[in-house]
Amino acid sequence: MLARLSPDVRQYLLITGNYWAFTLTDGALRMLVVLHFYKLGYGPLQVAMLFLFYEIFGVITNLVGGWLGARIGLNRTMNIGLALQVVALSMLLVPSAWLVVPWVMAAQAMSGIAKDLNKMSAKSSIKLLVPGDQQGALYRWVAALTGSKNALKGVGFFLGGALLTTVGFAPAVAIMAAGLLLVWMASLFLLKRDLGRAKDKSKFRDIVSKSRAINLLSAARMFLFGARDVWFVVALPVFLSASLGWDFWQVGGFLAAWVIGYGIVQSLAPYVTGRRTGRLPDGRAAFTWAAALALVPALMAMLLVQGQSAQLVLVIGLSVFGVLFAINSSLHSYLIVSYASEDGVSLDVGFYYMANAMGRLLGTVLSGWIFQRYGIAACLAVSAVLVTLAAIVSVALPRHGRQTVRG
């Protein structure tokens, strides 16, 4: 069956398989660390701080990783990411007495580097596997890759909780490390050599994008993901547990369901934003969808301040937020790959996902601080402000008239 497929499709399937395998371990590892250290007596904010280096090193990796991909090829950066995740998992297999905060933060830093090398490599590779005149196909391939990744991250949350319950922390980590090791070994032999290597040797100063469109899109992405994580990382799980009395499995289940639903909507985004109208999305679409998204957290914050049922407001409101956020994210993922230069595509994509990581870092820090000082309604109000900033920046993105879907 696979032999009948074109080489580009086989490479796409291999890249997607690598990305899926990595994503499962990434989601499961996050849930394992949260649950395990919560059981050990760590407070929610302390647990969140374990992931601080994960986000900080994500910023650095996206900035440097794009340059590295252009220099040595995306096949190598993807394989390096897989190998580093195996190392990060192995670091958590030490005796429990060694699992002190600095050691776990170091393992999370390694995992953050691995995650963003893998993501940058996967999304950059798609640009090189789809003909330049088939932008409709490019949008669908990127949406499918991104959406499936987020759905599987939600599955990873469930997987982490299930493994922790059935086999315990160390055996769960060992199972994931062994599985990912096999994926890495297969990738070393099967992934096409020199994929994504720039024809001209990229200089280190090239890591900063020179494209106005990419710089604007990167700024919008930073505000967009800051707007999600300002309530998602710390505020929501702590509020559901401490204020609404949800059991921890209910909190984890809700977050997992949210991420899975978000991933499914991402995969379907091309049919919502362009396929039915026969037009490809551009800067106008990015502004419109961001403006619509900004209304949701603003309305939620207002309802909470007025004393409406917090459980009802959060469950319904965040479900709507998830749908609109998924469409915004999918639009951005297509636009960055579309805007990126084909020669050295990883430089542009890496710079853009550096901004994405900056947004996550900003949201993580703000989530703990604002929730602790002012509460969940304030987190949602700040989310609305950040999405509004993303919409304002998107006004200046290129518009391409009436370009139609091809491919």
Contacts of 114 (CB under 8 A, 6+ apart): 22, 80, 81, 82, 83, 84, 85, 87, 88
User: pLDDT by residue (tens digit) across 60-109?
Assistant: 887 777 677 777 777 788 889 999 999 999 999 998 888 888 898 899 99
- DSSP 8-state symbol, 329: H
Query: What DSSP line would sit under 29-52, residue for residue?
Result: HHHHHHHHHHHTT--HHHHHHTTH
Burial degree of 291 (CB within 10 A; 0-12, 13-18, 19+): middle
Residue 241 C-beta-side C-alpha neighbours within 13 Å? 18
| H or E element in which residue 361 lies | helix 345-374
Residue 227 clears pLDDT 80, i.e. is over it: yes
| pLDDT value at residue 6 | 62
| pLDDT value at residue 242 | 80
Q: Is the pTM of this model over 0.85?
A: no
Residue 148 structure tokens: 């499936």
Residues belonging to the chain: 407
- For residue 355, give Cα distances in angstroms to 58, 62, 329: 10, 8, 13
Contact 202, 347 (CB under 8 A): yes
More confident residue, 15 or 105: 105
Please report how the helices 7-39 and 169-190 are oriented relative to each other, as an axis angle in degrees rounded to 10: 160
Residue ranges covered by each domain of the chain: 2-394
Distance CA(59)–CA(154), nearest Å, equals 23
Contacts of 303 (CB under 8 A, 6+ apart): 313, 317
Distance CA(27)–CA(160), nearest Å, equals 7
What confidence tier does 134 reach under pLDDT thresholds 50, 70, 90? low
Over residues 168-176, mean pLDDT: 92
What confidence tier does 378 reach under pLDDT thresholds 50, 70, 90? very high
Burial degree of 254 (CB within 10 A; 0-12, 13-18, 19+): middle
At residue 323's C-alpha, the angle toward residues 9 and 329, to 5°, is 50
Distance CA(119)–CA(152), nearest Å, equals 14
Distance CA(347)–CA(307), nearest Å, equals 48
Percentage of the residues of the chain whose pLDDT score is greater than 70: 78
Domain covering 2-394 assigned CATH 1.20.1250.20 in the classification: yes
- DSSP 8-state symbol, 341: -
Distance CA(53)–CA(64), nearest Å, equals 16
| pLDDT value at residue 188 | 87
Residue 405 clears pLDDT 60, i.e. is over it: no
User: pLDDT by residue (tens digit) across 255-283?
Assistant: 888 988 888 888 787 777 665 555 677 78
Residue 361 clears pLDDT 80, i.e. is over it: yes
Residue 394 clears pLDDT 90, i.e. is over it: yes
Distance CA(179)–CA(86), nearest Å, equals 9
| pLDDT value at residue 129 | 57
Mean pLDDT of the chain: 80
| pLDDT value at residue 187 | 87
Contacts of 55 (CB under 8 A, 6+ apart): 112, 357, 360, 361, 364
Residue with tokens 């919560």: 38
